[in-house]
């Protein structure tokens, strides 16, 4: 029998958190156990899924791998800010995207786990050299067709040269990584000196995370480790990065967690609730960001 320990700090002083199912793809009726490390404030799945389970946990219609033609609201906004000179609201740019200037100034960018490359499309439009790292073969085909450079596989198997990128980004990927310390080490290696690692990941220390099974971003079995500001900071400092961590409210997470909790599937009801939740989301955004379930991390090499 394996002795349970925290995958980050290795303490054995951990506690059981919850049992949960795959609520996003209910065809899979397996139950998964989640534990919490009180030191790192992380939540983690145990045991981690094995490679032979990946077909079950990433179904064929997994949203990140399918071309839907839809562009999320925030990416549309980033596109406007970056590629439409009419937008001159600098404070808004910095508030919504604390990494805006870093993206603006970078020339050679790698997006890890880039999926179909909708973020890279926006960067390419503004003249940057865009590279995508992605394991899914269907997504890789789409990327190539759109003219992005590609690396197949993951950061441990793809051969990427030392000191080669101004910026490495990763959106909603960090929580899928079994050994985040090794990933942080690799990102440090491939960044140019003075380059930036920017990523977003759910916040396990948020109020919303306290909803346990009804926290949308818990998303088992695909999320292996849900990180806190503390665990992220420790991982980055160990590798000599200079980190800055921002906590933000995620409107999508607030809404989806509400739908999950109240088992709300009707599109009409969802639309109405989304509208009713808007003042709450704006209030949280303006006055109580510490409740936010999204971590935005900027780390300088």
Q: Residues in the site for Zn ion, rule: CB under 5 A?
A: 6, 8-9, 37, 39-40
Of residues 40 and 173, the one with the C-beta less far from Zn ion? 40
Q: How far is the CB of 39 from Zn ion (least distance, A)?
A: 4
Query: Token pair for residue 283?
Result: 């209030």
Tokens representing residue 135 in the block: 């394991």
Q: How many residues does the chain have?
A: 301
- Going across the sheet that includes 31-37, the strands are 15-21, 31-37, 42-46, 225-226
Q: Report the residue number, 128 or 227, with the smaller CB distance to Zn ion.
A: 227
What the block records as the tokens of 39 is 């030191």
Nearer to Zn ion, 8 or 158 (CB): 8
Joined together, the tokens standing for residue 194 give 């003075």
Question: What is the spatial distance between Cα 25 and Cα 15, in angstroms, rounded to a whole number?
Answer: 27
In angstroms, rounded to a whole number, what is the distance separating the alpha carbons of residues 32 and 14? 16
Burial code of 34-52, b = ≥16 C-beta within 10 A, e = fewer?
bbbbebbbbbbbeeebeee
Q: Rounded to the nearest whole angstrom, what is the least distance from the CB of residue 205 to Zn ion in the complex?
A: 12
Residue 9 or 64 with smaller CB distance to Zn ion: 9
Least separation in angstroms between residue 76's CB and Zn ion is: 37
| Nearest to Zn ion of 40, 191 (CB atom) | 40
Shortest spacing between CB 44 and Zn ion, in angstroms = 9
Smallest separation (angstroms) from Zn ion to the CB of 214: 24
Residue closer to Zn ion by CB (options 9, 57) is 9
Minimum CB–partner distance for residue 186 and Zn ion (Å): 21
Contact 110, 190 (CB under 8 A): yes
Nearer to Zn ion, 8 or 298 (CB): 8
Q: 77: number of CA atoms within 13 Å, CB side?
A: 12
Residue 246, strand partner residues: 296
Instruction: Name the residue nearer to Zn ion (CB basis): 9 or 160.
Output: 9
C-beta atoms surrounding 128 within 10 Å = 19
Reduced to 3 states (helix: H, G, I; strand: E, B; else coil), residue 246 is: strand
Q: Which H or E element spans position 20? A: strand 15-21
Tell the smallest beta-carbon distance from residue 37 to Zn ion (Å).
3
On the CB side of 236, how many CA atoms lie within 13 Å of its CA?
22
Query: Hey, CA dihedral for 59, 226, 296, 187, is it positive or negative?
Result: negative
Q: How far is the CB of 183 from Zn ion (least distance, A)?
A: 17
């Amino acid at each position: 029998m394996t002795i349970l320990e925290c995958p980050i700090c290795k303490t054995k002083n951990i506690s059981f958190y919850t049992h949960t199912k795959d609520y996003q793809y209910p065809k899979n009726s397996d139950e998964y156990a989640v534990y919490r490390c009180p030191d790192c404030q992380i939540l983690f799945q145990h045991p981690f899924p094995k490679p032979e389970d990946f077909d079950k946990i990433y179904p064929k219609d997994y949203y990140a791998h399918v071309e839907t033609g839809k562009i999320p609201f925030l990416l549309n906004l980033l596109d406007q800010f970056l590629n439409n000179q009419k937008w001159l609201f600098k404070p808004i740019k910095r508030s919504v995207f604390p990494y805006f200037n870093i993206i603006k100034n970078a020339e050679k960018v790698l997006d890890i786990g880039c999926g179909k490359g909708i973020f890279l499309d926006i960067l390419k439009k503004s003249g940057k050299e865009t590279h995508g790292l992605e394991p899914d073969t269907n997504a890789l085909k789409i990327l190539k067709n759109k003219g992005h450079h590609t690396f197949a596989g993951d950061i441990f198997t793809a051969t990427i040269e030392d000191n080669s990128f101004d910026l490495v980004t990763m959106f909603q990927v960090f929580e899928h990584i079994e050994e985040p310390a090794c990933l942080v080490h690799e990102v440090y290696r491939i960044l140019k000196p003075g380059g930036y690692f920017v990523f977003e990941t759910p916040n396990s220390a948020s109020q919303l995370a306290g909803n346990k099974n009804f926290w949308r971003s818990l998303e088992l079995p695909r999320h292996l480790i849900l990180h806190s500001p503390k665990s992220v900071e420790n991982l980055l400092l160990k590798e000599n990065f200079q980190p800055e961590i921002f906590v933000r409210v995620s409107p999508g997470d607030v809404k989806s967690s509400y739908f999950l909790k109240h088992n709300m599937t009707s599109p009409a009801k969802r639309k109405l609730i989304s509208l009713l939740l808007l003042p709450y989301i704006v209030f949280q955004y303006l006055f109580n960001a510490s409740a936010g379930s999204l971590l935005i991390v900027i780390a300088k090499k």
